Chains A and B, each alone.
Chain A
């Protein structure tokens, strides 16, 4: 018996491999000549004959059934993956296990994957197989990877890696469990107003980050906005159509790319785009947030496009009467047919929405100025330029956010022009649950050979602060700097809501590196009032352009809270910010300008090294003045700081006339 069993096993094994050979011939598309097989393997004549007959019977039933339930897309999507060793996985792409198919968009297929080397889930977008041979498609796909990877922002999806597999480019992104805004709207209809604003602000700030990198998204729509989990934390995805603003060749192609319902008129006409085209789409998204519907609809693509180009958008109030008038006005401005009738920047939109959100949460805040008509805007620009008011928001908006009350000036002509209208300005949102962004690597070192003009002051010698510096303050403010062994102490008396500082009396040209050190007086903990709270600053020039540096917090010292405001060539203020978590009782700030880029760096006073926190396109104009300051941040509790060093290296210094002289 045993020997029979062994024989049968061996025979089964041999028969198995003959069948494999036969079945694989069938799989390769050739129906083999069965008689030849019967002749070739006479020892299995009976088994093979039965097998062939059985196959025919089953195939008669199975064939049509198989054809009926076939999912051709599944073959396309999954058929080309490398096999995975793990049974439930769909396959592999390079080093990544593919767990699930997430979706399909444009030219790509998106999978949920697992990166075993870093033990994390990832989303993998790979060029669809049918496009693999198209060099244009490959180029566009690769450009998406590059575009998106250039942006590091909490509201833009993070690209981990870019690769190529079997001749198909792919990109690896952070995996975000949740749904798209499109799905959210389909299911739940319009969210409450505060949520609408929160989502819109985040989309706008994500767009601002893309625009700051010179990128236009070109396909802003609810399906490209991811909501993480059930929170209203938003990430902008799919830079598949993104173009570099200066990529003239590609923007001039005139090909219709984007989603018609959210597309700007200039995009629908195949004209040149700029970042304001994204603002139009943002307007469409906010409209959809308010109403559940895109503003322009139609039965066909040409009809939608015609409406986009020619018809004024329907008021969202027709569908949702609860949409406030000011939001209708903002949407209207965003959906203006001509780009120059829209807002100028996404940052501006974000700021405006933030102010409204703040007021929604704290109705005691002053009302937000309504959206200006196009004609009014010219006058408003002049106003903004002249007065440069930055007034703190109440604590209602974003608790503890560093917002500037930076109104003091060194020049009397400015100081006498007190603004009548204190307009609250917020900095890029930082929701309480938002994690600190990863620290960017140092991206600039000054070239020491070029920085030959040097100004250095150590304030720890109790000498008077002159020369080269002057007190920047408002007339009537009786704060005086007190030189001492630890440095020069600046105090804002209790009860005063204001700011003072030490300003250079010379102008700084070309590249520069400015370093300033501070201590938060240990004997007296930093005082915090009801406002945003005291803040340290280096301002780079007049109050239109400032860099806010740190906020003082009780028991913690200075919390680095970099923010930066500048003014666009056309006079609109842009404020950008980052809020790293480090806190210190002493530290140093550094500003480096190299070319037109301004880099903000901090050192917590323990380590000698500086971390770059932020950088911004700043321009190459000479800097009128650098001010080391402290600001009450709207708190009546007063504040103080000791500045202990200032060191400036630059290409050139120029004396400028001292207005206070």
Chain B
């Protein structure tokens, strides 16, 4: 979406990395094994296509904000669905409440009422850029950076997840950050 071929709005499909990042962020350990981020993205895009009224204009930031809200709704529906088939009304409610709560925290962070529309769009565009930059990392680097920086996992936890030593994870983080920064700030290329 950085350089659309025509004046047409960016196709929804190209928001996939952005939605993927959000989905991975939103599916915590309690939901792992029950929800797959790529399914969530797929369903979100499906819903978006079926929605009659995408936001006006070709502003990526605004469209991203719109898609994010659809993803949040889809996520909440999915959480309700998957927790219902598991046992425990308490579990379902607790998860739904947690999802709901973090959804509104995310909303506050990205689209607080005191932000101007252009600020909101800017915030989303920044997330889009982050998502695209993450896509360019190696899989291990991307996972290490996401888990450690975006989800706050410790080195040891990331190491267990990736089957790597802590030193190896530290290496992945260092090189991943380097590359990421290069993509986010092209003028300071590595």
A and B bind: yes
A-B pairs with beta carbons under 8 A, tally: 155
Could you give, for residues 68-107 of chain B, a 1 whenever the CB lies within 8 Å of some chain A CB and a 0 otherwise? 0000000000000000111111111010001000100110
Contact of A19 among B89, B108, B171 (CB under 8 A): B171
Instruction: Tell whether A24 pairs with B88 under 8 Å between CB atoms, given A19-B167, A54-B180, A58-B180.
Output: no
A102 and B102 alpha carbons, distance in the complex (Å): 20
Query: Which of chain A's residues have a CB closer than 8 A to the CB of B181?
Result: 53-54, 57-58
CB distance B151 to A66 under 8 Å?
Answer: yes
Task: Report yes or no: B109 in contact with A65, Cβ–Cβ below 8 A.
Answer: yes
* B88 lies within 8 A of A67 (CB): no
Contact with A along B145-182 (1 / 0, CB 8 A): 10001111011110011010011111101100110110
- Also in contact, A74 and B102, with CB within 8 A (given A51-B174, A104-B88): no
CA distance A101 to B88 in the complex (A): 10
A510 within 8 A of B: no
Contact B87 A87, beta carbon cutoff 8 Å: no
A99 — nearest CB in chain B belongs to which residue? B33
A58–B150 Cα distance when bound, in Å, is: 9
* A59: Cβ under 8 A from any B Cβ: yes
With a cutoff of 8 Å between Cβ atoms, the chain B residues found around residue A69 in the complex are 25-26, 28, 102, 105-106, 150-151
Cβ of A223 within 8 Å of any chain B Cβ, yes or no, is yes
> Residues of A contacting B161 with CB < 8 Å?
87
Chain A residue at smallest Cβ distance from B158 = A23
Chain B residue at smallest Cβ distance from A91: B29
B173 touches A223 (CB 8 A): no
Q: Which residues of the partner chain A approach B33 to less than 8 Å between Cβ atoms?
A: 88, 99-100
Asked whether A12 lies within 8 Å of B150 as measured between CB atoms, the reply is: no
Interface size on B, as a range, is 35 or more
Tell me whether A103 and B102 are in contact in the complex, defined as CB-CB below 8 angstroms, given that A65-B25, A65-B109 are known contacts: no
> Quick one: which of A34-84 are within 8 Å of B by CB?
47, 50-51, 53-55, 57-59, 61-62, 64-74, 77-78, 83-84
Interface size class of A (residues with CB under 8 A): 35 or more
Asked whether B8 is an interface residue with its Cβ less than 8 Å from the other chain, the reply is: no
Q: Does any Cβ of B come within 8 Å of A179's Cβ?
A: yes
Most buried by A among B85, B156, B157, B167: B167
Whether A58 lies near B163 (C-beta < 8 A) is no
Are the C-beta atoms of A180 and B88 separated by less than 8 Å? yes
B149 to A66, Cβ gap below 8 A?
yes
List of B residues within 8 angstroms of A90 by Cβ: 29
Contact A179 B84 (CB under 8 A): yes
Which residue on chain A has the smallest CB distance to residue B92? Answer: A183
Q: Is A405 an interface residue (CB 8 A)?
A: no
Alpha-carbon gap, A66 to B145, bound state (A): 12
Chain A nearest CB: distance from B159 CB in Å?
10
> B89 contacts which chain A residues (CB < 8 A)?
103, 180, 182-183, 186, 223
Query: Which of A17, A101, A186, A226: most chain B Cβ within 10 A?
Result: A101
Q: CA–CA, A72 to B98, complex, Å?
A: 8
Residue contact A71 to B28, C-beta cutoff 8 Å: yes
Assuming A50-B178, A187-B84, is B90 touching A105 (CB within 8 A)? yes
Are A68's CB and B105's CB within 8 A?
yes
Our pick among A16, A62, A104 for the contact of B91 (Cβ within 8 Å) is A104
A84 to B160, CA, bound (A): 8
In this assembly, does A149 line the interface, its C-beta being within 8 Å of a C-beta of chain B? no
B28 / chain A contacts, CB cutoff of 8 Å: 69, 71, 74
Contacts A68-B108, A78-B30 known; A178 to B88 CB distance under 8 Å?
no
> Is A303 an interface position by the 8 A CB rule?
no
Pair B184/A57 contact, Cβ less than 8 Å: yes
Cβ-defined contact, A103 with B154, below 8 A? no
Interface assignment of B126: CB less than 8 Å from any CB of chain A: yes
The docked-state distance in angstroms from the alpha carbon of A78 to that of B153 is 12
B3 in contact (CB, < 8 A)? no
The interface centre, meaning the residue of B84, B91, B94 with most chain A CB atoms within 10 A of its CB, is B91
The reply to whether B84 and A58 contact each other, CB–CB distance below 8 Å, is no
Residues of B within 8 A of A55 (CB): 177
Cβ of A20 under 8 Å from chain B? yes
Bitwise interface map of A from 16 to 36 toward B, beta carbon under 8 Å scored 1, else 0: 110110011001000000000
Given that A65-B109, A73-B94 are known contacts, is A83 also in contact with B160, CB under 8 Å in the complex? yes
Cβ contact within 8 Å between A71 and B155: no
User: CB distance A178 to B87 under 8 Å?
Assistant: yes
The interface residues of chain A lying within 8 Å CB-to-CB of B154 are 24, 27
A58 touches B149 (CB 8 A): yes
Does A15 contact B171, Cβ atoms closer than 8 Å?
yes
CB of A20, distance to nearest CB on chain B (Å):
5
With A19-B174, A70-B105 already in contact, 16 other A-B pairs whose C-beta atoms are closer than 8 Å: A13-B167, A16-B171, A19-B167, A23-B173, A57-B184, A58-B180, A70-B152, A71-B98, A71-B102, A74-B29, A77-B30, A87-B160, A88-B32, A101-B30, A186-B84, A226-B87
Q: Which 5 A-B pairs have the closest CB atoms?
A: A103-B88, A16-B167, A103-B91, A19-B170, A54-B177
12 A-B residue pairs with Cβ-Cβ distance under 8 Å, sorted by A, are A15-B174, A16-B167, A23-B170, A24-B154, A55-B177, A66-B150, A68-B110, A69-B28, A74-B29, A85-B160, A100-B86, A180-B89
